[in-house]
Structure 1
Amino acid sequence: MTVLVALCSIAFASPSTSFARDSLGVFSDWGAFRDPAIPRCYAIAKAAPSNQQRDNDPFASVGTWPSSNVRGQLHLRLSRNLARGSSITLTIGSKKFTLTGSGGNAWAQNRSMDSAIVAAMRSASRMTVSANDTNRRRFSNSYDLDGAATAMDAATVGCARAG
């Protein structure tokens, strides 16, 4: 129940004029939600707990926006705000991706990278994003990927039904 409460708090804290979100399920540390007002669907998880300083409540999400023909788009809310020009590295298993971002957010550089990241998430057990904060200190956020594939599938199906 704690995972569901935490995921709901992240899902409902996302900026939007509408608060009507439907839960599509909780799968280990990952949840899937549908926001029919936008419409969008997404899989989301909180970062592993840490005793390190946090400027933001970090999460990872993989979203689908059917009206924009976008599927499987990664968004990471980082625990700290980024230093200007900081390199952002996402490590999933043995694969490394250089992301783009600003403030406390990071994304894949393009749709093909999104696809490669989602594929890597499906076959790995953990992912870690690392960068330098505004004080040039290195930080990282880690995620358990158990349940991620099922949550991503639930989000994709949830939006297919909405259309």
Structure 2
Amino acid sequence: MEFEPAMRRLALLLIPLLVLAAPAAAKDSLGVFDDWGAFRDGQVPRCYAISAASPEVRSNRANRPTQAAFASIGTWPKRGVRSQLHVRLSRLVPANAVISLTIGGQRFELIGAGGDAWAKDRKMDAAVVAAMRSAPNLSVTARDVSGRRFTDRYNLAGAATAMDAATVGCAKLT
């Protein structure tokens, strides 16, 4: 059944995230849609669609990820922030890293350092979200702090539905 591997990947992603989250912070599941999940955190308040990077076979220890990679689209209604991209990279990158996001035939240069990357502005966030709605996958490519190139890949099946669920989930939190 296709649902089980997606749930397993999502569970592997969410367990570490929930452990790192604020103590006793309750997250409401808004649904799991293929490889993407949607959640609401009423304490912040925020809502987000999230997916783990596709697992890949690493040929040697030097190419293994240093942290769990994920991509998310978040909304913080009280801050006036909607559909903001955040990518947790599988490896740490230097402050001057070139971080490329590719969706379908479109390429975006993200900003970030350490283990995180974002769109440069709200206009890019909107373009990324629009591209995600019609493409089958996305990839994020950069060079880590050791200079090794890496790519984190994501399946976008369910992304549009998860993003919509997150948006609707936060409609009552404004």
Q: TM-score, normalised by structure 2?
A: 0.89
**Do the aligned residues in 2 keep the contact of 1:18 with 1:37 (CA within 8 Å)?**
no
Shift of 1:107: 0.2
Shift of 1:8: 3.1
Structure 1 range deviating more: 43-52 or 138-147: 43-52
How far, CA to CA, are the matches of 2:167 and 2:150 in structure 1? Answer: 31
Q: 1:144 aligns with which of 137, 155, 165?
A: 155
Shift of 1:162: 2.7
SS of residue paired to 1:19: coil
Report the CA distance shift for 1:14/1:159 in structure 2 as closer, same or farther (over 3 A).
farther
SS of residue paired to 2:74: strand
Confirm or deny that 1:75 pairs with 2:86: yes
Report the CA distance shift for 1:20/1:154 in structure 2 as closer, same or farther (over 3 A).
same
SS of residue paired to 2:51: strand
After superposition, the CA RMSD in angstroms is: 1.4
Matches within 5 A, 1:30-45: 30-45=36-51
How far, CA to CA, are the matches of 2:13 and 2:166 in structure 1? Answer: 14
1:54-108: CA deviation from partner (whole Å, max 9, x where unpaired): 1110000000000001000000000000023110000000000000001000000
How far, CA to CA, are the matches of 2:39 and 2:148 in structure 1? Answer: 34
How far, CA to CA, are the matches of 1:161 and 1:107 in structure 2? Answer: 26
1:100-119: CA deviation from partner (whole Å, max 9, x where unpaired): 00100000000000000000
Gapped regions of structure 1 (runs ≥ 5): none
How far, CA to CA, are the matches of 2:149 and 2:123 in structure 1? Answer: 27
**Do the aligned residues in 2 keep the contact of 1:83 with 1:136 (CA within 8 Å)?**
no
**Do the aligned residues in 2 keep the contact of 1:7 with 1:30 (CA within 8 Å)?**
no
Matches within 5 A, 1:40-119: 40-50=46-56, 51=58, 52-119=63-130
Identity of aligned residues (%): 53
**Do the aligned residues in 1 keep the contact of 2:13 with 2:68 (CA within 8 Å)?**
no
1:103-139: CA deviation from partner (whole Å, max 9, x where unpaired): 0000000000000000000010000000000001100
Which residue number corresponds to residue 131 of structure 1? 142
Shift of 1:2: 2.0
**How many residues in Structure 1 have an aligned counterpart in Structure 2?**
163
